[in-house]
């Protein structure tokens, strides 16, 4: 991915100095960092605006400037009606329905639209771009709905709900999350709505920013989760008395996938100096053919890593893109194009959903092996304190299984579907927004599945006493034990699972390992 952000979330993210990084997007979307347009961006915006003004004054119709839109592009709009044209475009396209999407998603799509505006390829006015930056900085977030985008002609409905706020209309949320209307929120912040000029309505709504924003946020989270999966697998290998010999570098080099090598290196590092592993490493050990879910962890985890790397490369290209239709070229021409089509983003969103489902699937299989006394090599059934009276982690695996089943359904691709729209003018669409929405749900599910494996693995290590785990897994056990008690009679299990989910989602599990043995791959 693009360069990591080194400034704190309180410092403004500069828009217009080059492509945004994943860290920039996360800082603004998730942590509320302010936004500032650079002088270079304002100058580029002004240059392209001059080209639009020339075309608006010309007698020849120009799409999006002096014509209708989509299937209505054949109608020439008189100058006196063009402000109404832009208002009507935004109002009519703000047609979303269903639940409100997450604040971080809306802020991400607003930032990414601003990034395209800053390229000087859209023909927007500087004051309109500045107002969008001001909304982000003041924490004013338009209400965007779950349904409405087909992922072609961009994320039209979601972006239109954001554009609506710029003209002082529609519902928004203040920085503290309280609801109000856009006019009130602008007034409270000392801001004034804009009256959109020629081309500005299109410039605000014609991009892949919603699906891209969700892709970037997912990539940020998956960077932590793929390393967490290696930690969880190490806990399972150790706790189930499996061999670590299969992770040897020379064996892994026979199949030189970079993700596989990285995952195996992590497993070797995490398991180093394990008393549990050493206890059965001698000549009497016959554990050379562990179950696939243990033995093949680097192969599966590595394939997920390589999939994430591919998706990150696509995201980098999108972050460097200027997506609008029509676009203003450096020589002043305004040309129609198809860059708003979400296929490149939609495909990798679906690809990631497949990888996420499989990573969760292998995690659930490793967890299940802990609970079956015929496969757990001496552990009590279900890791229960008093099996029969207590059920231990029996139903924690049910929770995993239910999530994994859901993830398999979410892995069905959205991008293979297309429903024609706009009187067959827009006859092939990407469904990238839908792919992004289901990936967000899948990433949450993966987080929960890994959390249960970590929780179960730590419990198993306790039950292996007096054998000592590796320094890395011992540190994870100590972290978990700060929030969850060790083995004993059954307790209310849901809060313990949620505590583990928080440790995984926050990155604390990975940070604890890295503080003990150094940075993971």
Which are the catalytic amino acids?
Answer: 63
Structural element, H or E, at residue 38? none
Residues 305 and 257: their CA atoms lie apart, in Å, by 10
What count of Cα atoms within 13 Å lies in the side-chain half-sphere of residue 182?
22
The pair of structure tokens assigned to 207 is: 């991009």
What count of Cα atoms within 13 Å lies in the side-chain half-sphere of residue 117?
32
Distances (CA, A) of 372 to 15, 369, 389, 493: 55, 6, 16, 19
Q: Which of 184, 288, 277 is nearest to 239 (CA)?
A: 277
C-alpha torsion 431→437→441→444, nearest 10: 120
Task: Give the length of the chain.
Answer: 521
Three-state SS string across 154-175, please? CCHHHHHHHHHHHCCCCEEECC
Q: Which of 464, 488, 493 is nearest to 477 (CA)?
A: 464
Q: Residue 9 CB: number of other CB atoms within 10 A?
A: 16
Exposure letters 208-242 (e unless 16+ CB within 10 A, then b): bbbbbbbbbbbbbbbbbbbbbbbbbbbbbbbbbbb
- 443, burial (CB in 10 Å: exposed 0-12, middle 13-18, buried 19+): buried
């Amino acid at each position: 991915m693009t360069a990591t952000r080194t400034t704190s979330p309180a410092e403004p993210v500069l828009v217009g100095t080059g492509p945004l990084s994943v860290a920039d997007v996360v800082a603004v979307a998730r942590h509320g960092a302010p936004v500032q347009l650079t002088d270079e961006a304002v100058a580029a915006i002004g240059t392209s605006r001059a080209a639009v003004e020339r075309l608006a004054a010309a007698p020849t119709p120009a799409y999006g400037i002096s014509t209708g839109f989509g299937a209505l592009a054949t109608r020439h709009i008189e100058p006196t009606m063009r402000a109404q044209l832009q208002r009507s475009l935004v109002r009519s396209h703000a047609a979303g329905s269903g639940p409100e999407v997450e604040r971080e998603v809306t802020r991400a799509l607003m930032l990414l639209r601003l990034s395209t505006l800053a390229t000087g390829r859209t023909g927007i006015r500087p004051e309109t771009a500045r107002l969008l930056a001001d909304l982000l900085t003041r924490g004013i977030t338009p209400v965007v709905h779950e349904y409405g985008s087909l992922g072609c002609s961009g994320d039209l409905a979601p972006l239109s709900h954001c554009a609506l706020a710029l003209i002082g209309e529609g519902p928004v949320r203040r920085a503290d999350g309280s609801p109000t209307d856009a006019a009130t929120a602008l007034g409270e912040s000392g801001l004034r709505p804009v009256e959109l000029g020629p081309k500005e309505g299109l410039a605000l709504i014609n991009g892949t920013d919603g699906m891209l924003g969700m892709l970037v946020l997912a990539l940020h989270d998956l960077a932590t989760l793929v390393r967490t999966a290696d930690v969880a697998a190490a806990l399972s290998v150790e706790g189930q008395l499996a061999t670590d010999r299969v992770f040897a570098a020379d064996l892994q080099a026979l199949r030189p996938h970079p993700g596989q090598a990285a995952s195996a290196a992590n497993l070797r590092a995490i398991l180093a100096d394990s008393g549990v592993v050493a206890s059965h490493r001698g000549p009497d050990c016959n554990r050379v053919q562990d179950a696939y879910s243990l033995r093949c962890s680097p192969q599966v985890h590595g394939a997920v890593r390589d999939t994430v790397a591919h998706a990150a490369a696509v995201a980098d290209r999108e972050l460097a893109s200027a997506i609008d239709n029509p676009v203003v070229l450096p020589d002043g021409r305004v040309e129609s194009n198809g860059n708003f089509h979400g296929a490149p983003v939609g495909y990798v969103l679906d690809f990631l959903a497949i990888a996420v489902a499989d990573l969760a699937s292998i995690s659930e299989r490793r967890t299940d092996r802990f609970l079956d006394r015929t496969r757990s090599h001496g552990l009590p059934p279900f890791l229960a304190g008093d099996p029969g009276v207590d059920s231990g982690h029996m139903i924690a695996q049910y929770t995993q299984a239910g999530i994994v089943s859901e993830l398999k359904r979410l892995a069905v691709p959205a991008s293979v579907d297309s429903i024609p729209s706009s009187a067959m003018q827009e006859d092939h669409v990407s469904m990238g927004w839908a792919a992004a929405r289901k990936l967000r749900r899948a990433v949450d599910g993966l987080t929960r599945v890994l959390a249960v494996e970590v929780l179960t693995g730590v419990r198993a290590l306790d039950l292996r006493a007096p054998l000592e785990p590796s320094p890395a897994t011992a540190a994870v056990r100590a972290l978990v034990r700060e929030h969850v008690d060790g083995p004993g009679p059954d307790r209310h299990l849901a809060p313990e699972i949620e505590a583990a989910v928080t440790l995984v989602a926050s990155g604390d599990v990975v940070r604890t390992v890295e503080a003990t043995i150094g940075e993971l791959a």
